[in-house]
Amino acid sequence: MKPVFLLLVSTFWTLTGAQYYYQGLMDYLDNRLLAIEDHMQLWHDQSRRYHTELLDFKKLTAVAMDGLRNDHGTILEDLTGAGVRVDRVEREMDFVETQTSPRACVNKADKVVEQEAWGLQESRGEEEEEGEDWEELQSRVSDCVEIISGIRSVKILKRVGSPNGMWTRDPRSSKVYVFNGTSGDTIHQFDSVRDFSRSPDAIGSRQIRLPSDWTSPGSAVYNGYLYYVEQGEDMDVQVVKYDLMSGSVTDIAMFPVESQASVYSLNPEIVADLAADDEGLWLLYAMSDSEPNIYLAKMDPTTLDIEQIWDTRCPRENAEAAFVVCGTVYVVYNTRLASRSRIQCLFDVNDMVVSEEAPLIYFPRRYGAHASLKYNPEEKQLYGWDDGYQIIYRLTMKRKLLV
C-alpha cells in the first residue's frame, strides 16, 4: 500500500510541476506578443508621422517650385532685356567706331621717317624749289606709307556658298573671283561686284576649270594672274601661278613647310595664305605645328622666288585670318565660340609700325567668324567671307608720315 501511495504522490508533483512550467511558458509568450504589438503600434505611429511629414514636405516643395518658375520667368525677361540693351550698345559702339576711328599709334616711326624726309629735302634743296609739294617728297620716301586706323563702313553683299570660302577682286580690273568651299578645281568669275551681287548663286558667272585643285581659301589674284596653293603627291605645299587670260599654268614653286601645319588655329584647313598689296605678293604660313608664330614670306610675283622671310611674332593661337597692307601684316583674332573679330597683332616689314603701339580695331558684329579676308589696294577695301556671307569692309587709312 505504501508504494502505491508514493507513486501517487510522485505523479501529483510531476503534474503540478508541468502545469507550472506550461503556465510560465504561456506567460512568457503572452508578454512577448504584447511587446511585439507595442513595437508594431510604435512603428505604425512613426510611419503615419513620416507620411504626414512627407506630405507637408511635398507641399512645401510644390510651393518652392512655383516660386522658382516665377523667378525663372522674371530672370529670363531680365536677360532678354539685357541682351537687347547689349545689342543696342554694340550697334552704337560700331557707329561710334565708324565715325571716330582710333588713332594709329606710330609716333616713333613717324618721327624717324619725317627726319629722313627732311634730310632728303635738305640734300636736294639746292636742286629743287623751296616750295616743293610735300606729297611729292613723301612719295619719294616710300611708295606705300599708309596704315589702317579704323573700319569706316560695312556692306553685306549677299549670301552664297558654304560657310568656308573666299572672294576677291583683281586690283587691276573690275573682275571678281569666287572660291566656294575649302578645295576644288573650279572658280567663278564675274565681270564686276555689281554683277556678282545681282546674280543668284553662281548663275551668270564664267566658270574657270583649273588644272589642279586649289587647297583652302588662301588664294590671291594679282595683275591678271591667279596664285593658289595646292598640295602635291607627297603632301608638299606648292604655289601655282595661273594666267587667267590664257588659261595656262606659267610657274609652280615648292614651298618647304609642313603641309599639316595650319596658319590660323581657328581655320585649320588653311596651310598657307597668299596675299597681295601695293608692294607685291606675300605668303603667310607656319613653319611647323610646334612653331607658335605666323611667318611671312615676300615672293617675286614673276618667278615665285622667295625674296625674304620674317617671323611676325604674331601667335597662331586664336587667329582666324590675316592680310597685308603696305607691307604691314594685320592678324585677326577671335574665340572658339565666334565673337567680335579684332585686329590684335601687327607686323611691319619696314619696322615702321610696332604692334604694341597700334590701335586695337574691332570688326562690327557679324554672323560667325571670318573664313578669309582679302585686301584690295586699289579700293582700300577688305573682301570678307563670313559663314557664307560676302562682306565688304571699307577701311580708314592714315599716313605713317606726319604732315
Please provide the average confidence, as pLDDT, over all residues in the chain. 80
Asked whether 242 and 224 are in contact (CB, 8 A), the reply is no
Residues near 328 by Cβ (< 8 Å), separated by ≥ 6? 147, 346, 347, 348, 349, 353
pLDDT on residue 133: 42
CA dist list (Å): 245 to 19, 40, 175, 249: 129, 102, 12, 11
Asked whether 120 and 141 are in contact (CB, 8 A), the reply is yes
C-alpha cell read off for 382:
577688305
- Read off the pTM: 0.66
Mean pLDDT of 320-343: 89
* Closest C-alpha to 177, from 208, 203, 212, 216: 208
Highest mean pLDDT among 111-120, 147-156, 315-324: 315-324
* Closest C-alpha to 278, from 366, 349, 356, 353: 349
From the number of C-beta atoms within 10 Å of its C-beta (0-12, 13-18, 19+), residue 95 rates as exposed
Query: In sequence order, which ranges of 181-264 are alpha helices (DSSP H)?
Result: 193-198
- DSSP secondary structure letter of residue 101: P
DSSP-based helix, strand, coil % in the chain, nearest 5: 35, 35, 30
Using the CB atoms, write b or e for 219-244: b if 16+ within 10 Å. bbbbeebbbbbbbeeeeebbbbbbeb
pLDDT at 339 over 80: no
Phi-psi region of 152 (alpha: psi -120 to 50; beta: other; left: phi over 0): alpha
- Per-residue pLDDT of 44-80, as tens digits, reads 888 888 888 888 898 888 888 888 888 888 888 888 8
C-alpha cell read off for 261:
601645319
- DSSP secondary structure letter of residue 363: P
- Per-residue pLDDT of 195-234, as tens digits, reads 998 887 776 788 999 999 998 889 999 989 999 998 766 6
pLDDT on residue 38: 84
Cα angle 386-268-147, degrees, rounded to a multiple of 5 = 60
- Per-residue pLDDT of 94-148, as tens digits, reads 555 544 443 333 333 333 333 333 343 444 444 444 344 434 433 433 467 788 9
Q: Is 254 helix (H, G, I), strand (E, B) or coil?
A: strand
Question: What is the distance between the alpha carbons of residues 361 and 107, in angstroms, rounded to a whole number?
Answer: 18
Mean pLDDT of 149-170: 90
Residues near 98 by Cβ (< 8 Å), separated by ≥ 6? 150, 151, 152, 153, 364
